Each structure stands twice: as structure tokens, then as C-alpha cells.
A and B are shown apart, each in its own frame.
Chain A
Amino acid sequence: EVQLVQSGAQVKKPGESLRISCKGSGYSFTSYWITWVRQRPGKGLEWMGRINPSDYYSNYSPSFQGHVTMSVDKSINTAYVQWSRLEASDTAMYYCARHIVASTRTHDYWGQGTLVTVSS
């Protein structure tokens, strides 16, 4: 069974750093990209970017470029997104999703979400 299991909720202060994770299981982790999606409170879904676990190539939405960094540890089938300096506007639910690059180009399995709260 394909699963993406994300790390737990986090409460941080502005200016702090954070890394959240997404662990894949039940499939070949390096055969699918991982996408990250943000949902701010009361708002819609926003595509942040994606990373290829096979070669670590990543590309970001311009809205997130330079503010977050995506990474992967292939040895433990885990993808990460990290912030070096959080802002209050980063308060959101973050989802990872498995991304099929060829053919359908869709996102077929999703993690349960990680709630990040940034508040002083």
C-alpha cells in the first residue's frame, strides 16, 4: 500500500528555522517526484515546488523560490521542506504528494498534512 506519512504539527516563533518531513512507503521512492503544497487558513491550495528523489533536481514556484528548500534522503525514503527564517505568513497546512512526471503528470497519493503555526 502506497503511503506518504508526514511529520507532526509544529509551533514556531518568527525567525526560527524548521524542517518538516514526508516519508514514502509501499513504492519505489526514487521513481516518483515529491511535490509540496501549501494551504493557508481559509485559503486554497498552492503548489510550492517539487523534487526528484532520484537525482535531487528541484524546481520551485516563483512565490516560494528562495524562501523554502526542498531536499531528500533516499536512504530513508524521506523528503523534506525547510525554512531558515519563518514568518507569520508561513502559518499553514503543508501537504506532500507523489508526483507522476511522465504520462499523466498527476499527484495520486498525498500525505496527511503537517500544520505549521508561526506566532510570537
Chain B
Amino acid sequence: DIQMTQSPSSLSASVGDRVTITCRASHSITSYLNWYQHKPGKAPKLLIYAASTLQSGVPSRFSGSGSGTGFTLTINSLQPEDFATYYCQQTYGTPFTFGQGTKLEIK
């Protein structure tokens, strides 16, 4: 199985901050990397697919980059609604593993 390692596991930030979350794959996954936002009691929401493509309807303050084994999710100018848990997921090979999640909390 391909292991996905996210860092940090938790992060405190303020409204208006810029934050970066990192995801590392144990093997090359080319660009088959997705980012999801998950809020308690809600369905996960797709933010970024193919490492850097913004899903339709997702605000442009979200961006993704990387390829191979290293990836980042950046959120510019944090908004109150951005405080949630973020997961990366590889869809290069089954099982399609997720990172352990990064909980973004209000400072």
C-alpha cells in the first residue's frame, strides 16, 4: 500500500493568515493527489484534484502543488469557514489511501 503522511497533524491560525499543509507519499503517485475539506457532521468536500486543479466552486484562496511524492495545500487569507480538517488522498493505486488529516483550528 502507498502510505500518505500529512504534516502538521494540527495547526492553529488566525483569520487572514496563510497556511500550508504538506502531504508526502511513500512512492511516486505522479499527480494523482486529491485534497478534501471535512467538517464535523458534513460530507467531505473535494477542494483540489490532480494535485493542483481547483474543483469547480471552490474559492481561489485554495491552491495545490506538487508531483511525485511531495504535495502541498495552501490556503491564502483564511476565512472563518475554512476551519476544518483537511485530508490528502492518493488515487494512483488501490487501496486509495488517505493521509491522517490536518485539523486547522482558530488561534
Contacts and interface: CB of A to CB of B under 8 A. Distances in A.
Interface of A: 35, 37, 44-47, 49-50, 59-63, 95, 97, 104-108, 110-113
Contacts of A61: 94-95
A104 B50 contact: yes
Interface of B: 1, 32, 34, 36, 38, 42-46, 49-50, 53, 55, 87, 89, 91-92, 94-101
Given A59-B94, A110-B43, A112-B43, A45 B50 contact: no
Given A62-B1, A95-B43, A105-B32, A44 B53 contact: no
Contact of B101 (A45, A106, A112): A45
Per DSSP, chain A at the interface is strand
Contacts of A105: 32, 49, 91-92
Contacts, number: 63
Given A45-B87, A46-B98, A106 B34 contact: yes
A113 B98 contact: no
B101 A44 contact: yes
B28 to A, nearest CB: 15
B46 A108 contact: yes
A35 B43 contact: no
B89 A47 contact: yes
A107 B55 CA distance: 11
